[in-house]
């Protein structure tokens, strides 16, 4: 009989929050460059909700268990691990799936050694959010110092990372939107945004135009999709880039959308995701995280903001919190 472990499963393969439960499943074995990590904590991401509902197909060959970011200790390695990773190492990392479990088999190319200054909870909240922000801002958005940038969903985990990166790397101004005054204040006072606008009560496009003397912003990072499509085109600057990472506001454009900005402003609209990228691409982003961001975590320049830590037996509550958009920062589940 193969060894088993506990993991979060979904009754029927997909369903509502109530379908989540702890189940006995086969324990993975590391092969090649993989390590088997005994998980201490894992972070929640919005893709987990979509996958649970059956709207986010996992990449070919990936574990169907939810979760892509975690922290823990290496329990075993395959026959070709990346140099520097061995049994007993404390690590955190990014995976294509499988983090909501007692053990995860993951490429050592996507692992990072855990600094002693950071907790297991903090490390479990770093990989997906900060690497996504790095990818969106630098690789896709082509950010350089002096540009202006706007982060939608300003209190979401990726934007929390992105606003801090933007401030640290000398934007001329960094803006945010959110749907609550409290979250707008958080983006400015805690994260250092130049200004933040309430997308429910304010005309944020007009506010952005006013703040930029009518020019608009050079880079917009968007998680909303269809319902912000026209507004993003109106708010982007000439030669600007709109990076779309999600569609919380739908995927179907309403009638009457005016796409003239693509020509008149020479702007670019590009969609991207991280989970569908190959290991080589993700490994390079891992290296950027280690070189440019990890020192900032250690010396306190960058904040890892955690809203809620729950034991994994309360994973239903954790998903409910994320679903209701009631948090500012990461939701982490721990495994005792």
Report pLDDT digits (tens) over 186-199.
999 999 999 999 99
Domains of the chain and CATH, by start: 4-126+277-334 (3.90.180.10), 129-271 (3.40.50.720)
Name the pTM for this structure: 0.90
Contact 220, 242 (CB under 8 A): yes
Q: At 54, is the pLDDT very low, low, confident or very high (cuts 50, 70, 90)?
A: very high
Contact 333, 44 (CB under 8 A): yes
Share of the chain above pLDDT 70, in %: 99
**Alpha-helix residue ranges (DSSP H) falling in 222-331:** 229-235, 261-264, 279-288, 294-299, 315-323
Can you give the pLDDT at residue 56? 87
Q: How far is CA 59 from CA 66, 98, 106, in A?
A: 12, 12, 14
Considering only CA atoms, which of 234, 316, 289, 323 is closest in space to residue 118? 289
- For the cut 70, the answer to whether the pLDDT of residue 109 exceeds it is yes
Report pLDDT digits (tens) over 122-161.
999 999 999 999 999 999 999 999 999 999 999 999 999 9
């Amino acid at each position: 009989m193969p060894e088993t472990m506990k993991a979060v499963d979904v009754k029927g393969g997909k369903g509502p929050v109530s379908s989540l439960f702890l189940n006995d499943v086969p324990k993975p074995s590391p092969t090649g460059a993989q390590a088997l990590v005994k998980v201490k904590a894992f972070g929640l991401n919005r893709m987990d909700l979509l996958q649970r509902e059956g709207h986010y197909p996992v990449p070919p060959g990936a574990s169907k268990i939810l979760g892509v970011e975690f922290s823990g200790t290496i329990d075993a390695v395959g026959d070709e691990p990346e140099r520097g990773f061995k049994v007993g190492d404390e690590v955190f990392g990014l995976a294509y799936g499988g983090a909501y479990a007692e053990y995860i088999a993951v490429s050592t190319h996507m692992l990072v050694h855990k600094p002693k200054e950071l907790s297991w909870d903090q490390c479990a909240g770093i990989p997906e959010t900060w690497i996504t922000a790095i990818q969106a801002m630098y690789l896709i958005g082509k950010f350089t110092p002096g540009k202006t940038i706007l982060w939608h969903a300003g209190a979401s985990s990726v934007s929390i990372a992105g606003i801090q990166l933007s401030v640290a790397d000398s934007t001329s101004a960094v803006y945010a939107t959110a749907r609550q005054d409290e979250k707008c204040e958080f983006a400015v006072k805690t994260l250092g945004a130049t200004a933040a606008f309430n997308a429910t009560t304010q005309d944020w496009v007009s506010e952005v135009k006013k703040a930029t003397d009518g020019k608009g912003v050079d880079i917009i990072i968007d998680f909303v999709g269809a319902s912000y499509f026209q507004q993003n085109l109106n708010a982007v600057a000439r030669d600007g880039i709109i990076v779309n990472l999600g569609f919380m506001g739908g995927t179907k454009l309403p009638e009457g959308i005016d796409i003239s900005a693509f020509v008149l402003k020479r702007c670019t609209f590009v969609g991207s995701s991280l989970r569908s990228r190959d290991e080589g691409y993700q490994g390079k982003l891992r290296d950027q995280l280690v070189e440019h961001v990890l020192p900032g975590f250690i010396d306190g320049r960058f904040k890892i903001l955690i809203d809620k830590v729950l034991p994994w037996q309360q994973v239903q509550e954790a998903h409910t919190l994320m679903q209701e958009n009631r948090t500012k920062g990461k939701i982490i589940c721990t495994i005792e």
